[in-house]
Amino acid sequence: MNAQQLEIDRAIREVQRGPTVIRYTCLICKKYLNEWDVKDGKAVCWKCRELSFPTSRVEKVPESKQPRLVPMKNGLYAIAVD
């Protein structure tokens, strides 16, 4: 091995020996995620989640009106909903 390979190997060993700290970051804003988001398996912080994926709101459908039978001139009936 030449001197350059030895220098590269030495640098790699120094990096591998040091303490390893892995911080998870938000995919959108790149801020650090808290432990709760990481344990939940989410890669987006709660602020970006609220902005990018808002919770859907179900609107109340007005009550359906009652159908009624309407006699026609030819003796048949039609159903009308008011």
Report the C-alpha gap between 17 and 15 in whole angstroms.
Answer: 5
Domain membership of residue 73 (yes or no) is no
Kindly list the distances between the CA atom of residue 79 and the CA atoms of 7, 11, 36, 68, 69, in Å, as whole numbers in the listed order: 89, 85, 56, 6, 5
Domain membership of residue 29 (yes or no) is yes
Domain membership of residue 49 (yes or no) is yes
- Please report the pLDDT score of residue 34 as a whole number: 78
Domain membership of residue 7 (yes or no) is no
Q: What is the pLDDT of residues 2-34, one digit of tens each?
A: 888 888 888 877 777 766 667 788 888 988 887
Q: ∠ CA(77), CA(80), CA(82), 5° rounding?
A: 155
Q: What is the pLDDT of residues 39-51, one digit of tens each?
A: 677 788 888 888 8
Among all chains, which residue has been given the structure tokens 């432990």?
Answer: 35
Q: ∠ CA(21), CA(27), CA(32), 5° rounding?
A: 40
Domain membership of residue 79 (yes or no) is no
Domain span at residue 39?
21-55
Domain membership of residue 27 (yes or no) is yes
Whether 70 shows a pLDDT value over 70: the answer reads: yes
Provide the number of structural domains found in the chain.
Answer: 1
Domain membership of residue 46 (yes or no) is yes
Domain membership of residue 8 (yes or no) is no
